[in-house]
Each structure stands twice: as structure tokens, then as C-alpha cells.
Amino acid sequence: MGCHSVYSNPLIERYASKEMSYIFSDDNKYSIWRKLWVALAEAEKELGLNITDEQIEEMKEHINDISYDVVAQKEAKLKHDVMAHIQEFGEKAPKARPIIHLGATSAFVDDNADLIQMYNALQLIRVKLLKCIDNLSTFALTYKDMPALGYTHFQPAQLTTVGKRACMWIQDLLLDLKELEYRIANFMLRGVKGTTGTQASFLELFNGDKEKTMKLDELVTRKLGFEKSFPVTGQTYTRKYDWYIMEALCGIAQSAHKFGNDIRLLQHENELEEPFDETQVGSSAMPYKRNPMRSERMCSLSRYIITNVSNFSITASTQWLERTLDDSANRRISIPEMFLATDGVLNLYINISSNLKVYPRIISQNVSRELPFMAVENILMRAVENGGDRQQIHEKIRKHSMEVRLAYRENGIIIDLIKKIIEDPDIPISGDEMKDILNPKNYIGLSAEQVEIFLDKYVNPILNSNRTLIENIQAIINV
């Protein structure tokens, strides 16, 4: 844990993994700045500027050698973080000092580093999303044909299966994965565009050579491992791009919140239960409690992500002309926290989905309690086939059903509806016939087949092509 005398961010201390925390750490951010300066110098040298290999090698030697106390002293004086880092870097690499940041504006390192951090974070999110899908796929296949009470409006409806319901959770995550992969595949850097995006400073450096100026942008982008940069920018890339990325995170949060709510509801019904450790305490006052705290925590973090997306929408819409600085302080906080929170959500999702406890007897009891009411139409048709009068039988079954419902709701008395129907002389149906009608699997439709087809056609191809990534994930999951 961090220092107890000052505020510590719970996203780092309690929820996010070390991997995600590192991506947005100062060490990573400012080493990326230095890699950007190296890539810029290399590209400028290749295009003919008077920059030596010795200068570039000196810069490379100090990419991770950052004296934060010196940077802090310089920033206190300069009131400019990029200039403070340029000066500190120049002291470490004195031969390269004259050419560090040559022709660039602060947004060159600020924006490109933010984008690189987000790109790497999206890759980590993607692997964890795949792990959640993998866990749920195993669960869905295991319980593909276990009848369970379906709910609409959280009121008993027709039957489904435990596995079929899990496929609904998976489908949401597949939609999120598709959106995430689109963002990754089409990712762009800001590139090398100059102070207001016109590339004027670089055009001056290359003595008016337009081809070299445009080539610089391409070279630096490729040296950093990317294929694309924004074709046009102001001083900064459009903040609308941040919003698109955060919308992808918001989609994951929506899916996780839905899953978390479903687990909380089903745990209330005693059908499913999230992991509960042997020494875990459910309540400080009520020792018997087994609260769904992981699912609740997941919903809590998801809500933070969902509501914070509007922040990026406002930032994108309020930028002035080629740039304004009112986005800066906001983005320093909001971008890392969106990713840290999403990482925390997926850590919880992985933990819950890999250890879900199913209680088949309770599920069966809940099905048995409601199935007689769902089966009345089949009972009616069978009785008519056996020679009964349809209208008379309908009225009899209606009265028996109302009597059973009323007895339970008003007095808590449980009356066996099926027994009453079998014993009614005006309803010609036998106990054996009733047993056949009341087989729960008669009421699950194509649930089992849907699970198999869905997994085989839509899920397994994705999981199989990413199996190595899924199996090698080494996330630190704090639960």
C-alpha cells in the first residue's frame, strides 16, 4: 500500500492490475517521451539533417534514466512539464541536447505518448476480455441443457437453460470485442505535425522540401510501430478520438454491469453464487451473510466508467480552433482512470466467471414451483385428446390455478396444483401422462442447440485463434 498520510488512488491500490498501472506510470510515460525524441532525431537524420549517430546513441542510453527530482525543480521554475523534461534529458545527454525536440511542439510528445499508452492498454483489455469469454464458454457448454427458470421483469417466465443464459453474457462481450478490435486495427498516432498542424516548422528545417517534410511524419510513425497517423490535426489530434476509444470501454462496462446484476439476482434466488472464500466475511454485523461483493464491486466500477464517458464528449465538443489547454488537466486524470477502472472490472469478471457456483437442486426446485403453471396449456390439450370438454377443463384448471396462487400469496400455504388436477374427475389425465408433460426439458426449446451452435460458429473460432494469448495471460487480479 502507498503512503497513508496522503490520498492514494483506489484504482491503483485496490482494483487495477500492476500491468495496467505500469502502462500509465510516470516511468512508462516519460520513457515513451524519450523514445519519441529518439524516433524524431533518427528520422530527421535519415532525411538529411545534421544529426550524428553519437547523439542518437547518447539519447538511447538515457531513455529510462529520469531524475524526477531534477524535473520537478525545473518545472517549478519553468511552469512547463515538457520543457522541464527536455532540459533534464539534455543534461543526461549533453551531446544530443541541441537536437532534442528539434522542430517539435509539446503535443508531439504529449499526444503521441497518450495514444501509445492507450493502444497498449487496449491490448491488455482485449486479452482480459477474451479470458472472460473463454471462462463463460466453458460454463455455457457445461450447463447447456440444465433447465432454469427464465425471467421477464424479474417475474417467472418460460424456461431457459443455465448455459443459454451464459451465452447472452458472452454475446455482449463479443460485441465489445468487435468494437475494441476495430479501434485497435484502425489506431492512429498524432504524428509529426508542428505547432498548429501545418508542419511549417519542419518545412523550415528541410529548407522548403515538402516531400521530406511529409516523409518525416511517416517515418516517425513507423519507427514507433504504427502504420497510420492523423491526416490533419491542429496542435493536438481531435479529442473526438478519445471519446471513440472510451466508448469501447463503456461498452465493456455495460456488459459487465449487466452480468454483475444478473449474478446478484440469481444469488438472491440461491441458484448461482459468485466465489466466496473460506475465510471471507460477508458482514461485520451478520455472520451468516454471503454477499455478492465481487459482483457489486464490478457494478460499482462499471457505473463509474459509464458515467465518465460524458466527460470525454464534453471535452471533444469544447476545443477551440487549433487547440485549447482546458483539456490537459482533465485528460491527465480521466484517461488513466478509465483504463484502470476497466481493468479492475475485467479482473473481477475473470475471477467471478472462472469460479461460479451452481446449485442444481435449487434451480430444479424453482423450476418445479413454476412449471405447473407453464404446463397448463399442454395439460389442457392432453386432457382434450383423452375425451374431455375443452371449455369445462379450461375453467377447472383456471380455478385450481387461482386457488393455489391465492393460498400461497395470502397465507403462505403451498398446494400441489398438479395433484389437484390429477384428482379432479372432470379432467381426464393420468399421473404417468402428467409426469411426461412436466419434464422440464420439454420447455427449454432449442436452448441446448443454440448454445452448441453459438459456441461452435461464433465463439470458438475467436478463442482458438487467440488460445496462446489467453493461456499466457499473467494479470495480477486483486479481488
CATH number for the domain spanning 299: value is 1.20.200.10
pTM (two decimals)? 0.90
E strand segments, 188-281: 272-273
Average pLDDT (347-352) is 96
Residues 399 and 348 occupy one common structural domain = no
Q: How many CB atoms lie within 10 A of CB 422?
A: 15
For 268, the grid coordinates are 438472491
Residue 332 lies in a domain: yes
Q: Are the beta carbons of 294 and 351 closer than 8 angstroms?
A: yes
412: domain range?
376-437
Contact 54/95 with Cβ under 8 angstroms? yes
Is residue 135 one of the residues assigned to a domain? yes
353 and 383 in a single domain? The answer is: no
**Considering the domain boundaries, does residue 187 fall inside one?**
yes
pLDDT of residue 244: 96
Using the predicted structure, report yes or no on whether residue 72 has a pLDDT greater than 50: yes
Total number of domains constituting the chain: 3
As a whole-number percent, the residues of the chain with pLDDT over 70 amount to: 95
Q: What digits encode the pLDDT tens for the residues 113-168?
A: 999 999 999 999 999 999 999 999 999 999 999 999 999 999 888 999 999 999 99
Retrieve residue 447's grid coordinates. 436452448
User: In which residue are the cell numbers 521554475 written?
Assistant: 77
Within a domain: 410: yes
478, pLDDT greater than 50: no
CATH of the domain at 35: 1.10.275.10
Instruction: State the average pLDDT over residues 388-401.
Output: 88
Decide: residue 445, CB within 10 A, 0-12 exposed, 13-18 middle, 19+ buried: middle
Please state, in angstroms and rounded to a whole number, the distance separating the CA atoms of residues 152 and 135.
26
**Shared-domain flag, residues 93 and 114:** no
Does residue 10 belong to any structural domain of this protein? no
Q: Is 353 a catalytic residue?
A: no
Residues 311, 219 share a domain = yes
CATH label of the domain that carries residue 396: 1.10.40.30
Are 116 and 190 within 8 A, CB to CB?
no
Instruction: Please state which of the ranges 297-301, 321-325, 430-434 shows the lowest mean pLDDT.
Output: 430-434
- Is residue 133 within 8 Å of 353, Cβ to Cβ? no
Give yes or no: residues 64 and 47 share one domain. Answer: yes
Helical ranges in 318-430 per DSSP H: 328-354, 360-374, 376-385, 390-411, 417-423
- Count the Cβ atoms, other than its own, within 10 Å of residue 198: 15
Residue 343 in contact with residue 128, Cβ under 8 Å?
yes
Do the beta carbons of residue 74 and residue 67 sit within 8 Å? Answer: no
pLDDT value of position 475: 43
- Check pLDDT > 80 for residue 3: no
Higher pLDDT among residues 474 and 335, named by residue: 335
Does residue 371 belong to any structural domain of this protein?
A: no
Amino acid identity of residue 93, one-letter, is: A
Residues 168 and 58 in one domain: no
Higher-confidence position of 380 and 280: 380
Q: Which three cell numbers stand for residue 439?
A: 419434464
Residues with Cβ within 8 Å of 320's Cβ and at least 6 positions away in sequence, in order, are none
- 137 and 172: one domain? yes
Residue 48: name the closest of 173, 213, 169 by CA: 213
What is the H or E stretch that residue 477 is in? none
Asked if 57 and 27 sit in the same domain, the reply is yes
Q: How confident is the model at residue 223 (pLDDT cuts 50, 70, 90)?
A: very high
Query: pLDDT averaged over the chain?
Result: 92
Residue 156 is predicted with a pLDDT of 87
Write down the catalytic residue from 8, 80, 268, 283: 283
How many whole angstroms separate alpha carbon 442 and alpha carbon 437? 7
| pLDDT for 479 beyond 80 | no
Is 201 annotated as catalytic? no
- Half-sphere exposure (CA, 13 Å, Cβ side) for 13? 9
| pLDDT greater than 60 at residue 1 | no
Which listed residue (4, 5, 153, 284) is catalytic?
Answer: 153
Here the cell at position 202 is 519542419
Q: Say yes or no: 263 and 343 in one domain.
A: yes
Residues 80 and 222 in one domain: no
What does DSSP say about strands 155-161 and 272-273: parallel, antiparallel, or unpaired? Answer: unpaired
Q: What is the pLDDT of residues 397-448, one digit of tens each?
A: 888 888 888 888 888 888 788 888 888 888 888 888 888 888 999 999 999 9
What integer is the mean pLDDT of 285-297? 75
Contact call for residues 231 and 301 (beta carbons, < 8 A): no
Q: Which residue has the higher pLDDT, 108 or 2?
A: 108
CB 40 within 8 A of CB 101: yes
As a whole number of angstroms, the distance between CA 168 and CA 174 comes to: 10
CB of 235 within 8 A of CB of 197? yes
- Give domain status of residue 6, yes or no: no
Residue 155, φ and ψ in degrees, nearest 5 = -115, 145
Question: Identity (one letter) of the amino acid at 430?
Answer: S
pLDDT in tens, 6-22: 888 999 999 999 999 99
Taking 60 as the threshold, does the pLDDT of residue 347 lie above it? yes
Are residues 74 and 196 located together in one domain of the fold? no
- The residue among 99, 120, 151 that closes a domain is 99
The conformation of residue 6, written as its DSSP 8-state character, comes to S
CA atoms 437, 442, 443, 445: torsion sign:
negative
According to the model, what pLDDT value does residue 216 have? 97
DSSP state of 229: B
Tell whether 167 is covered by a domain. Answer: yes
Residue in 146, 87, 83 with CA at minimum distance from that of residue 110: 83
Query: Across residues 356-369, what is the average pLDDT?
Result: 94
Q: Which residue has cell 515513451?
A: 32
244 vs 313: CA distance, rounded Å: 9
Query: Do 432 and 460 have their domain in common?
Result: no
